[in-house]
Structure 1
Amino acid sequence: MRALVALLLVTGAVAACGLRPASSFVPPVGPGSIRPVRALDGVRVRVTSKEFTEQLVLGKIAVLALTAAGADVADQTNVQGSVNARASLTRGDADLMWEYTGTGWITYLGQETPIPDARRQYAAVRDLDLRRNGIVWLPPAPLNNTYAIGLKRTTAEQYGLTKISDLTKIPVARRTFCVDHETFGRDDGFLGMLRGYGLTYGADVPRAGVRRVSVGILYNAIASGQCAMGLISTTDGRIKALDLVVLADDRHFFPLYNVAVTMRRQLADAHPEIAGIFAPISAKLTDEVMRDLNAQVDVDGDVPVLVARDWLRSQGFVT
């Protein structure tokens, strides 16, 4: 028991620092709406994930859900980097992971043009990935972890801003932005967004008003008024913690990154019942839900696996 307590304390401390908060500890769960599935009894399923908070929480959700269904789950979450986690799936070192439609389409499948309709984007990545790589995509969640423009609630209310095209309501001199270094010049990032909304960098948005900062300080820079707006991720827990407003992408510029369970075709063919386990879970994973779960880790310092377990319990999936 002392060893377990020590493990949780260390893991919690890492989470509070915003590092890679994961451990191999999996708390016991009992059946809720997820009931033991005879066909999965003792079946080995290796679950992997990337290393950032959202992926850790989602990975642990998968581990716990499959455990409750009776599978023999190997927790291989917390792999550094999207490419490495994906490679473990395609080469057969892992069986299942949550992935994003935009990442699959652009990064893994090399497609340059994202599809602005969520259903069509999912269908396209599902069909092409299965054909090329033997990877099965289950239907995605509403959760869309993409880029967005975020700002303080007081700023949104002052100018009546609800969508990105409303930015023209702000006087030019006050159109200040904080943007992280990586996404500043990308076609699907800040400069691309300006072009997509008919805004000229240097004229409609003054160059002097754009600050390039690290992701670690980006959200606090917006909340503290160092800039009026910033390019953020839609499911980041700091949105809730800092009471930021997310503007609607009314021109559908940013690629869609709906999350879905992906798995090797061999597992999907042998155990189609897995789709039934994850369908109701995916249906409940919205941007708002994920922001809350991410905030519990990144803001409150909770442990991802316990955040995952408590959410599954709160929804009645496990006990």
Structure 2
Amino acid sequence: MLQKTWNILIEKSRFFADLLIEHIEISLIAIFIAILAGGLIGILISEFAKSAKPALGVINFLYTIPSISMLGFLIPFSGVGNATAVIALTVYALLPMVRNTHTGIMNVNPDILEAARGMGSTQMQALMRIKLPLAMPVIMSGIRSMVTMTVALAGIASFIGAGGLGVAIYRGITTNNAAMTMAGSLLIALLALAADLLLGIPERRMTKRKYGKRRSGKRNTKKTFAAAIAIICIFVLAFGAFRGREQETIHIATKPMTEQYVLGEMMDILIEQDTDLNVELTQGVGGGTSNIQPAMESGEFDIYPEYTGTAWNMVLKEEGIYSESMFGRMKEQYKNDYDMEWLGMYGFNNTYGIAVRKEIADKYGLETYSDLQGVSDQLIFGAEYDFFEREDGYDALCETYGLNFKETMDLDIGLKYKAMEQGEIDVMVIFTTDGQLSVSDITVLEDDKGFYPSYLCGNIARSEVLRKYPQIRASIEKLAGKITDEDMAAMNYQVESLGKEPREVAKEFLKELGLIG
């Protein structure tokens, strides 16, 4: 595994370098805001003692909220992407910053403060010239722990479509690529350790400084703190300027599914080949449609691959089973309600299916969904998170077929087959284009009541973007009707089982079609 991890780091060095820069950018912005806001709050509650207890109570409460819950709470307000990630990271960074600033100031020897007041120092002078310099070792300790924690926690940013090394971890899990997951995790750990070691140098110097040298050391303390702030500002401004130069960019999003990674790469390749536009591809947005659609409405994303049945139930909130005879009506609703268009229908139908472990199917003679009715109370059912919330998901399936499973397990899409292989689940939802279907020891049951609707795959694009850049339409339509169920399953298999990169698989398929040189 270590050799594979090293190899993927070398082979995809540019990919990991870009993710590393994004990770540092997100972390630094959150750290900068936390130092300013946390430091200010820490000073205020130290100067106004009655406010300390409620302020620290609120910050402690926010700190106990699980990171995924925090992201879910923030998405409706700030959307997906870097902004939400920075807000969440800042919230978690506040506690060590506020607490250490407050503790450092409150532990300053009161005799020194009394002497300062006796010499005529004002409250502000005492704060700036005595309290903060003397509290700086404790404050620096808080900054050090806060920075290390923020760098490590920034991996969650990928769950909501932001960048950073978490992208490698999440993509590795989704595509069954353990080496990529390990590489992303290792780089985050090394980055956090490097930050901890670098900040440990000034902290140790401050801690070792003796009281007799404090006067001469105050300037150095201030200079060290100011230099750290200045470096953070330079990084933030530099990254901001770099981002600001990005123009004429099309923002494509994909769900956390192997085939969506491949489709996203195909669009990226074709648009950049056929036009003068740049493409920014955000892969594997956590929550899929539920997070991408709001981001489309707000203009954060311009295009993403979607499935007709999903759009009908999850976006338009229509009840009942979708059929392709409703496609015209759905297109009209998208145009009227969201000013978005469907284009580039690929041709494959990635609908749901139900699979059981082969030994279970043989034991109970299971061939259809209805056969599960008599034994479901002895079996464990596994599916990805959103399946349990869908209009056509778990509840509807159980109601239609009279099922009552012993237990249910929420799983990431990329972990279902592993869980089935290890016997942790007995029944699971599959997609008909899953690459691992052909090599897994499972039995796919027949949907004897025709429960699952059609899920033809196409792209949803904002009409505003198509009007502004009409050349995009021609590029995307090149793939219309070109991908069969078998084609998609084969491409998924190459990524999930043969270890190929989604972009490599996308290029090979486009070459086979003669769409690229």
Q: TM-score, normalised by structure 1?
A: 0.71
SS in 2 for 1:232: strand
Residues 147-199 of structure 1: CA deviation (Å, up to 9, x unaligned): 3201356766888766534556xx748973432374457652234213213x2
Match of 1:257 in 2: 455
By how many angstroms is 1:280 displaced?
A: 4.8
- Which of 307, 321, 330 is the matching residue for 1:100? 307
Q: Output aligned runs, 1:211-250, within 5 Å.
A: 211-212=408-409, 214-215=411-412, 217-224=415-422, 228-242=426-440, 244-250=442-448
What 5-or-longer segments of structure 1 have no aligned partner?
23-42, 202-206
Match of 1:189 in 2: 393
By how many angstroms is 1:106 displaced?
A: 2.6
Residues 93-146 of structure 1: CA deviation (Å, up to 9, x unaligned): 44322222233223333x2314431242x2232110101111011253333334
- Which of 293, 298, 305 is the matching residue for 1:91? 298
RMSD, matched Cα: 3.9
8 Å CA contact 1:47–1:94 kept in 2: the answer is yes
Distance in 1 (alpha carbons) for counterparts of 2:388 and 2:489 = 23
- Give the letter aligned to residue 214 of structure 1: L
Distance in 1 (alpha carbons) for counterparts of 2:470 and 2:448 = 37
Distance in 2 (alpha carbons) for counterparts of 1:58 and 1:72 = 18
Residues 268-289 of structure 1: CA deviation (Å, up to 9, x unaligned): 3466665454345231333333
- Which of 14, 17, 21 is the matching residue for 1:7? 14
8 Å CA contact 1:48–1:85 kept in 2: the answer is no
- Which of 355, 364, 370 is the matching residue for 1:150? 355
By how many angstroms is 1:238 displaced?
A: 2.9
Distance in 2 (alpha carbons) for counterparts of 1:113 and 1:187 = 7
Match of 2:89 in 1: none
Q: Structure 1 245/88 Cα, relative in aligned 2: closer, same or farther at 3 Å? A: same
Match of 2:78 in 1: none
Q: Output aligned runs, 1:1-319, within 5 Å.
A: 5-8=12-15, 14=169, 15-18=171-174, 44=248, 46-52=250-256, 53-78=258-283, 80-81=285-286, 82-109=289-316, 111-120=317-326, 122-138=327-343, 140-152=345-357, 163-165=368-370, 167=372, 172=375, 176-180=379-383, 182=385, 183-184=387-388, 188-197=392-401, 199-201=402-404, 207-208=405-406, 210-212=407-409, 214-215=411-412, 217-224=415-422, 228-242=426-440, 244-269=442-467, 274-319=472-517
Identity percentage of aligned residues: 26
Greater relative contact order (Cα < 8 A, sep 6+): 1
Q: Structure 1 269/119 Cα, relative in aligned 2: closer, same or farther at 3 Å? A: farther
Larger Rg: 2
Residues 258-317 of structure 1: CA deviation (Å, up to 9, x unaligned): 221221223434666654543452313333332332333333333222221122112322
SS in 1 for 2:350: coil
SS in 1 for 2:481: helix
Distance in 2 (alpha carbons) for counterparts of 1:3 and 1:219 = 29
SS in 2 for 1:293: helix
- Give the letter aligned to residue 176 of structure 1: L
What 5-or-longer segments of structure 2 have no aligned partner?
1-8, 20-166, 182-246
Distance in 1 (alpha carbons) for counterparts of 2:10 and 2:418 = 36
8 Å CA contact 1:58–1:98 kept in 2: the answer is yes
Distance in 2 (alpha carbons) for counterparts of 1:161 and 1:317 = 44
